[in-house]
Amino acid sequence: MIELIEDIFNRPFGILLIISGLVFLFIVVLFRLNDIENKIAEVTGITIGGILILSGAIIHLWPATTGEPDISVIEQPSEVLPESPPFQPESQEETAEPEKKVYLRYTLITEFELVWNDKESGMKQKVAFYQPLPPVGYKIFGHYAQNDYGRPKGRVIAVKPVSEMGDEGILAYPMRYERIWQDSDVDGAIWRPVPPLGYRCLGDVATTGRSKPGRKEVVCVKASLVTAGQIGELIWDNRGKDALYDVRVYSVLPKEASEGTALNLFQGYGRQWYRKPGADSLPVLKKGSLKGGG
List strands edge to edge, sheet with 102-109.
139-140, 156-163, 102-109, 290-292
Decide if pLDDT at 238 tops 60.
yes
The pLDDT value recorded for residue 26 is 77
Alpha carbon distance 156, 140 (integer Å): 8
In-domain check, residue 81:
no
| Residue 80: pLDDT band with limits 50, 70, 90 | very low
The answer to which of 62-71, 200-209, 210-219 has the lowest mean pLDDT is 62-71
In-domain check, residue 156:
yes
The pLDDT value recorded for residue 101 is 63
Q: Tell me if residue 87 falls in helix, strand or coil.
A: coil
Our count of domains for the chain comes to 2
Domain identity same for 107 and 56 = no
Q: Tell me if residue 127 falls in helix, strand or coil.
A: coil
Domain that holds residue 187: 102-292
Decide if pLDDT at 220 tops 60.
yes
Across residues 46-58, what is the average pLDDT? Answer: 78
Alpha carbon distance 223, 227 (integer Å): 8
Domain identity same for 212 and 154 = yes
SS (H, E, C) 201-215: CCCCEEEECCCCCCC
Domain identity same for 44 and 136 = no
Last residue of a domain, one of 30, 61, 92: 61
Domain identity same for 142 and 287 = yes
Instruction: Mark out the alpha helices in the chain (DSSP H runs).
Output: 2-9, 13-33, 39-61, 92-95
Angle ∠(112,201,121) on CA atoms, nearest 5: 50
